[in-house]
Amino acid sequence: MGWDWNYAIAILPEMLGALRVTIEITLLGSLVALVLGLVIAVVRRARIPVVDQLLWAFVEFVRSTPLLVQVFFLFFVLPRFGIVLGAFAVGVIALGVHYATYTSEVYRAGIDAVPRGQWEAAAALSLPQSRVWTGVILPQAVPRVLPALGNYVISMFKEVPLLLGIGVVEVVNKAKELSSETFRPIEPYTIAGLLFLALSLPASILVRRLERRRAAV
């Protein structure tokens, strides 16, 4: 059994439709990860007793356990507590929260890299705390870490297929469906791989270019 072009072209529209789902989950998940990560980083910076330790424990726990198990947990265990989420929502939340623990570390590194003088100057001008963050610290910290954040978005894109475990019809699940309908695994899985490459390669080149530009500044 070799490569069949007719079959490959016939399934392409369906595969692209599934790719759309993958991209939607990636973008929404990234939004959660980027916002929640920033919140975690800023709150941890305040070093509030108890809250800080709890956040530390949460971040370490999420980072040390598999995303797939967390996905299953949200999908199968939460309904026991009366919280019923659809597979798509579970995917977005699980990916977003998992990667928020990574992005929070990235933001932290970026915030730590802002010179102390900036904090002192902001304090000397008696800026309110909110403006210290939004007007002084974050505009300097965030651009510095954009390449690292970009890499995590690419990682998230590649982790979306885990959601086939709870029945989200993303690229790999679609390939699985098609190959079990037609008993031809070659084309669907190969197309799935190529679709991932087609998006993640240009994205990582973009991130690398951004990295170099940052390094040059």
Partner 1 sequence: MEFFRGTSEVVQLFWIYFVLPVLVGIQLLPLFAGVVVLGLNHGAYGAEIVRGAVSSVPKAQVEGAKALSFSPRDIRWRVVMPQAVLEMLPSFNNLFIQLLKSTAILSFIVVSEVTERGVQVLVPNFGDDIVLIFVLMLLIYLVLAVLITAVMRWLERIGARRLGRRPSASARTAAVAAAH
- Residue among 152, 185, 206 at smallest CA distance from 11: 185
CB of 177 within 8 A of CB of 43?
A: no
* Binding footprint of partner 1, residue count (CB under 8 A): 47
Find where tokens 């069949």 sit: 4
With CA atoms as reference, report the closest residue to 11 among 199, 123, 156, 175.
175
Instruction: Give the largest Cα separation in the chain, rounded.
Output: 74
Kindly tell me which residue out of 35, 48, 56, 63 binds partner 1, with binding defined by CB under 8 A: 63
* Calpha distance 149→142 (Å, rounded): 9
- 65 forms part of the interface with partner 1 (CB under 8 A): yes
Q: Which is nearer to partner 1, 81 or 130 (CB)?
A: 81
Is residue 69 within the footprint of partner 1 (CB under 8 A)? yes
Least separation in angstroms between residue 31's CB and partner 1 is: 19
DSSP code, position 134: I
SS3 for 3? coil
Is residue 158 at the binding interface for partner 1, with CB under 8 A as the rule?
yes
Q: Which of 8, 85, 87, 109 binds partner 1 (CB under 8 A)?
A: 109
Return residues touching partner 1 (CB under 8 A).
Answer: 1, 61, 63-70, 72-73, 76-77, 80, 102, 105-106, 108-109, 148, 151-152, 155, 158-162, 164-165, 171-172, 175-176, 179, 185-186, 189-190, 192-193, 196-197, 200-201, 204
